A and B are shown apart, each in its own frame.
Chain A
Amino acid sequence: MLQEILSALVAVATLPNLLIMVAGIWGGVIVGAIPGMTGTMAVTLALPFTFYMAPVPSILLLVALYKGSTYGGSVSAILIKTPGTASAACTALDGYPLAQQGKAGKALNMALYSSVTGDFISNLSLIFFAAPLAVLALHIGPPEFFMLMLFALTTVAGVSGSSLLLGLVSAALGLLLATVGEDMYGSFRFAFTPDMQAGLSIAPVLIGLFALPELIKLVVMRATKEEEAAKLGQQHVTREEFMGSLKSILKGSVIGSVLGAIPGIGPSSAAFFSYGEAQRSSKNGANFGKGELEGIAASESANNGACGATMIPLLALGVPGDVITGVMLGAFMIQGLTPGPLLFQTNIHEVYMLLIGMLVSSVLLFFAGKITMRMFAKVSHIPQTLLTPLVLLLCVFGIYSIASSPFDVAVLLVMGVVGFAMFLLNIPAAPFLIAFILGPMLEENLRRALAISRGDLSVLLSSPITWLFAALIAFVLFITVRREVQKLKTERRVEQ
């Protein structure tokens, strides 16, 4: 094993790989720092470029973009009170008051230290837990996989958007779209044109769904905000300040690692949970929301702490926990690698390279953040009216270059309109994408399970593992419905 780790380390520590990771981190921070641009957008826009790269560097690029954008979200949250990404919303609560006190640089530094610590701990959790989970997963068959994927879909549907019902509708739409093309026995489904016989490619669907609606919103609604950015001011975080926040950083990192590993939870929920926990347990709890460094530490350690952990279900089970890991699953498949338990047997060298690369990228995040903090601070001023059309251009060129197919460009544009319609109807897009990616595997496992059992549906509840996932699905449905009922009651009370 040590030999394999060393050989993976040597393979990762090449100049091109390091440059790719640095470029990914910088690119991610820049995109994350621009309000309205998200980590999902950064990862999806980079996807076409990964077609021409070797498997591991391509995944490392996407991971670096993910980490960079999660940290980058804190830049605009602190400087202009506009979180670049949803996971940085809590950072704005204390970051902006600090910026107003002339301590923006200090807040950005604390965000960086916490992000790097959370990220590193999260990567360690990935290294320690992914392989054992993959070994366990080797013993499960089609019914168990079907129930596992159903659990992942239910969780994503439950936590995305404001309503479980709309999350499930979104997932159903994604499952339906995934059936377009040839099925496992050679029948063509919904092949309205000859191009559709091969099915819809992942890249145009997900890029269209997540990158283009922002452009359509900008053109149709034109709701752009001009915010005055704070100066960096005081920058140095003292040893006492860091040690005072260390407990919250460590706690946030663990919260991020645990919640990140559960499909559907992701960095945003982890950041909110960690912030609340730090506020409850800190002796400075009363200062939270007024410019408390510990608040930034709790939020940033948790949101970056979730980044590595979201890869645990992806690598070990082949189940993406959120949209970004969904995109990464697409990237794995494009590269001919199938995440899941067999990956640890057939491509162990690549797995080790990926894990080591993720640890290295944590260190790179620190240096990249430190060196270019001033530059990133300027990024949040770029007008969206210029940037968003550039995103469209990148999407169109990127998608065409993948398969030289004008049909894919048309799919991209249509999916942009679908994403916009879903936005107007308040239907969340994340379950759609996860369902679109998981759909073929979900159907294949169900059909295999039914074929094995001669059409007997009770095969889906035939083992302790299937019962466990059924219980987890029921639990997720129960707590989501209970949360919504409580929200409804509160609304009615306020109305009265």
Chain B
Amino acid sequence: MPKPVLRGLIIVAFFALTAFILVPAYVPRPAFIPGFAPPPDMWPRTVSLAGIALGVLALLFAVSRPHPEEAPIETDGSSRARMVGRFAGLMLAFVLFLVAIPLLGFLVSTMLLTLCIVLMTGERGHRIWIALIAFGAPILLQLFFHSALGTQFPKGVLTRPFGF
């Protein structure tokens, strides 16, 4: 499917979902509204309907203009499947990071996330720098935020005996 058509469909689908499902379900109207003030769902509904109209226009333009000029996205030449795999890996890293915070604590979780991300960028040289960024930088930042700004970073259930 051409990208402009897909984009138009996504826009219409998203705003339609918001206008017809999310707004009725998640924007309750209070029993009493003072004066002539519009209800709380007026604005999100208006924006969503405008979004649908814009999406429909985008879709119409995409269909009526078969070869639109869009700047190509720069890549390292990898296949689409490989890039999707990398994206999935990154999402997994993000989710595991959030899950790991209560278990391993903020410090260890950020260390693991940073190491994971550096390796995911394809960086294999500069090993000392990788170690410094992945392990040294989180320690420095935690010390800075804790001592200078008084931030209390969460300790992990598993790492609490070690003090972090």
Contacts and interface: CB of A to CB of B under 8 A. Distances in A.
Q: Which residue of B7, B47, B54 has the most chain A CB atoms within 10 A of its CB atom? A: B47
A368 interface: no
A176 B11 CA distance: 13
A187 B58 contact: no
Nearest to A191: B26
Contacts of A176: 18, 44, 47-48, 51
A222 B121 contact: yes
Main secondary structure of the interface of A (DSSP, over half): helix
Interface in A396-453: 396-397, 400-401, 404, 406, 409-410, 413, 417, 424-427, 443, 446-447, 450-451, 453
B120 interface: yes
Contacts of A400: 106, 145, 151, 153
Contact of A185 (B6, B40, B86): B40
B129 A220 contact: no
Given A187-B40, A417-B91, A221 B106 contact: no
B50 interface: yes
B54 A165 contact: yes
Nearest to A390: B133
A413 B141 CA distance: 19
B132 to A, nearest CB: 9
A20 interface: no
Given A220-B87, A221-B73, A221-B74, A186 B30 contact: yes
Chain A interface size band reads: 35 or more
A216 interface: yes
A185 B32 CA distance: 10
Contacts of B11: 169
B63 interface: no
A190 B57 CA distance: 27
Interface in B96-119: 97-98, 101, 106, 110, 113-114, 117-118
A219 B120 CA distance: 6
A487 B86 CA distance: 36
B27 A190 contact: yes
B29 A424 contact: no
A261 B37 CA distance: 34
Interface in B14-47: 15, 18, 22, 26-30, 33-38, 40-44, 47
A391 B86 CA distance: 19
B38 A447 contact: yes
A488 B69 CA distance: 9
B83 interface: yes
A389 B98 contact: no
B137 interface: yes
Contacts of B156: none
B10 interface: yes
Interface string A149-192: 00000000000001001101100110110010001011111111
Given A393-B133, A447-B38, A165 B87 contact: no
Given A393-B138, A455-B36, A413 B101 contact: no
What 4 A-B pairs have minimum CB-CB distances, sorted nearest first?
Answer: A385-B123, A223-B74, A187-B40, A222-B76
Interface of B: 3, 6-7, 10-11, 15, 18, 22, 26-30, 33-38, 40-44, 47-48, 50-51, 54-55, 57-58, 61, 65, 67, 69-71, 73-76, 78, 83, 86-87, 89-91, 94, 97-98, 101, 106, 110, 113-114, 117-118, 120-123, 126, 129-130, 133-134, 137-138, 141-142, 145, 148-149, 151-154
Interface of A: 52, 162, 165-166, 168-169, 172-173, 175-176, 179, 183, 185-192, 215-216, 218-223, 383-386, 388-390, 392-394, 396-397, 400-401, 404, 406, 409-410, 413, 417, 424-427, 443, 446-447, 450-451, 453-455, 488, 491, 495
10 contacts: A166-B7, A169-B58, A172-B51, A179-B43, A185-B34, A187-B29, A386-B126, A389-B118, A413-B98, A451-B36
